[in-house]
Chains A and B, each alone.
Chain A
Amino acid sequence: MTPTIVAGTAVRVLQQLRGDPRTVALLLVVPVVLLTVVRFVINDDGPVFDRFGLPLLGIFPLILMFAVTSIAMLRERTSGTLERLLSMPLAKLDLLLGYALAFGAIAVVQAVLLFAVGVGLLGLDVAGPLWAVVVLSVANGVLGMAMGLLLSAFASTEFQAMQFMPAFVIPQLLLCGLAVARADMAQPLHWVSWAMPMTYAFNGLDELRATATVDGQMIGDLAIVVAISLAALALGAITLRRRTP
Chain B
Amino acid sequence: MDTVCPAVRIRDLTVVRGGKRVLHEIGLDIAAGSVTGLLGPSGSGKTTLIRTIVGVQAHVRGEVEVLGRPAGAGSLRSRVAYVTQAPSVYDDLTIDENVRYFARVLGQPAQAVDAALDTVGLHDHADRRVSELSGGQRSRVSLATALLGGPDLLVLDEPTVGLDPVLRAELWDTFDRLADDGATLLISSHVMDEADRCERIFILREGRLAVDDTPEGMRERTGCDRLEAAFLALVGGGAR
Contact = CB atoms under 8 A, between A and B. Distances in A.
A100 B90 CA distance: 19
B84 interface: yes
A5 B164 CA distance: 36
A243 B17 CA distance: 12
B77 A87 contact: yes
Interface string A60-98: 000000000000000000011101111111100010000
B238 interface: no
Contact of B88 (A2, A19, A84): A84
Q: Which size bracket describes the interface of A in this complex?
A: 20 to 34
A4 B108 CA distance: 11
B77 A81 contact: no
Given A90-B105, A244-B58, A84 B72 contact: no
Given A12-B93, A84-B82, A242 B88 contact: no
Nearest to A16: B92
B160 interface: no
Interface in A87-124: 87-90, 94
Nearest to A84: B88
Interface string A217-245: 00000000000000000000000011111
Interface string A186-205: 00000000000000000000
A4 B104 CA distance: 7
A88 B104 contact: no
B55 A89 contact: no
Nearest to A17: B92
A20 interface: yes
A157 interface: no
A46 interface: no
B84 A84 contact: yes
A89 B88 contact: no
Contact of B90 (A2, A81, A94): A81
A5 B59 contact: no
A15 interface: yes
Interface of A: 2, 4-5, 8-9, 11-12, 15-16, 19-20, 79-81, 83-90, 94, 241-245
Interface of B: 17-18, 54-59, 72, 74, 77-78, 80, 82, 84, 86-93, 97, 101-102, 104-107, 129, 145
27 contacts: A4-B107, A8-B104, A9-B101, A12-B90, A15-B93, A16-B92, A19-B93, A19-B129, A79-B89, A79-B91, A80-B86, A80-B88, A81-B88, A81-B90, A83-B84, A84-B84, A84-B102, A85-B105, A86-B56, A88-B106, A89-B105, A89-B107, A94-B105, A242-B56, A243-B72, A245-B18, A245-B59
